[in-house]
């Protein structure tokens, strides 16, 4: 696989950018694809798919905005068939834990891949540590307070670098074909504990506050966030974050032969750029 082009969808995102960097460091031709990159790929425009896939031997699939969006399974199944027709032989799908819609998308990709003779790997991941340091929560944490409609539920936040390392292994090595890796951090934390951990690792004070979802949604709406995005967040905060994903999994250990990275280490590694 190292002699072939690998298409990284969402290649400018949290996991995609890290996967691209790792592939290129190994001398692999990694092609970044997104709605705004030179290689344009828009999930809502099937006409952009085949040109992005041309010449690729493997694909990292990161669907935006989320696999919970209705119809994502149909889109990804169609994309997998297009990939097979373009000569792709391997797909690696980024998925989420405990989300029925995400698992439905997994089944759709697997079925399309099996029918076309493609190998597949699923990376089923918990919430990212990087949500607090470079993602949607980072500005609030930097400002000193993160307020979300979450109480004491725990989540084994996973380091995006761990996800990237497993993804690269799955893209390049045959041993991950047909496997679902469930990737989490080593310990489950409340959001308050996670924010406290970020504060300790960065040396910048920050706290967490629970707010009711209606108040949170009203604030988002006032800031111009679209209704469909607010609906997606409602699903994530009121359904997915209900404790179903509290238990850490050993997917990183199984895939890489080493323990998963803890939150403090993940934050400290990027503290310079974060601050």
What's the rounded Cα separation, in Å, for the pair 228 and 221?
A: 11
pTM of this prediction?
0.95
Sign of the Cα torsion 113, 124, 166, 76 reads positive
Burial of 35 (0-12, 13-18, 19+ CB in 10 A): middle
Sequence ranges of the domains in the chain: 5-127+159-184+247-260
> Which residues have a Cβ under 8 Å from the Cβ of 93 and sit 6 or more positions away?
61, 76, 105, 106, 109, 120, 121, 122, 123
Its sign, for the CA torsion 106, 109, 112, 117, is negative
Q: How much is the pLDDT for 275?
A: 53
Flag the least confident range among 1-15, 77-91, 177-191.
Answer: 1-15
pLDDT at 235: 86
Q: Which stretches within 44-137 are classed as H helix?
A: 49-53, 72-85, 100-116
Q: What angle do CA 263, 180, 79 make, to 5 degrees?
A: 105
Residues 71-111: pLDDT tens digits?
Answer: 999 999 999 999 999 999 999 999 999 999 999 999 999 99
5-127+159-184+247-260 maps to which CATH number?
3.40.50.720
What value, to the nearest 5°, has the Cα angle with vertex 104 and ends 33 and 150? 85
Structure tokens at 207: 């706290």
Burial of 147 (0-12, 13-18, 19+ CB in 10 A): middle
Question: DSSP letter at 240?
Answer: I
| Residue pLDDT, tens place only, 212-230 | 999 999 999 999 999 988 9
pLDDT in tens, 122-145: 999 999 999 999 988 999 999 999
Q: How far apart are CA 261 and CA 160, in angstroms?
A: 10
**Do the Cβ atoms of 105 and 113 come closer than 8 Å?**
no
Query: Angle at the Cα of 184 (from 122 to 197), degrees rounded to 5?
Result: 150
Contact 212, 68 (CB under 8 A): no
Q: Are 234 and 227 in contact (CB under 8 A)?
A: no
């Amino acid at each position: 696989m190292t002699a072939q082009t690998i298409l990284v969808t969402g290649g400018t995102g949290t996991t995609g950018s890290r996967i691209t960097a790792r592939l290129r460091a190994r001398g692999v031709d990694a092609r970044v694809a997104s709605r705004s990159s030179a290689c344009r790929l828009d999930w809502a425009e099937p006409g952009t798919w085949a040109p992005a896939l041309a010449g690729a031997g493997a694909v990292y699939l990161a669907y935006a905005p989320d696999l919970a969006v209705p119809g994502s399974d149909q889109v990804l199944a169609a994309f997998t068939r297009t990939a097979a027709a373009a000569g792709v032989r391997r797909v690696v799908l980024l998925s989420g834990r405990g989300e029925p819609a995400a698992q439905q998308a997994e089944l759709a990709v697997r079925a399309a891949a099996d029918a076309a003779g493609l190998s597949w790997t699923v990376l089923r991941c918990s919430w990212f540590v990087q949500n607090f340091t470079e993602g949607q929560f980072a500005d609030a944490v930097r400002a000193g307070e993160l307020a979300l409609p979450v109480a004491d539920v725990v989540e084994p936040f996973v380091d995006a670098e761990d996800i990237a390392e497993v993804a690269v292994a799955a893209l390049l090595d045959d041993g991950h074909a047909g496997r679902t890796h469930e990737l989490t951090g080593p310990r489950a934390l409340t959001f308050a504990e996670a924010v406290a951990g970020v504060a300790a690792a960065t040396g910048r004070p920050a706290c967490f506050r629970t707010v009711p979802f209606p108040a949170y949604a009203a604030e988002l709406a006032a800031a111009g966030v679209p209704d469909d995005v607010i609906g997606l967040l409602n699903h994530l905060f009121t359904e997915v974050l209900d404790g179903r994903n509290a238990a850490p999994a050993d997917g990183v250990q199984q895939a890489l032969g080493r323990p998963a990275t803890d939150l403090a280490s993940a934050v400290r590694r990027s503290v310079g750029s974060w601050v």
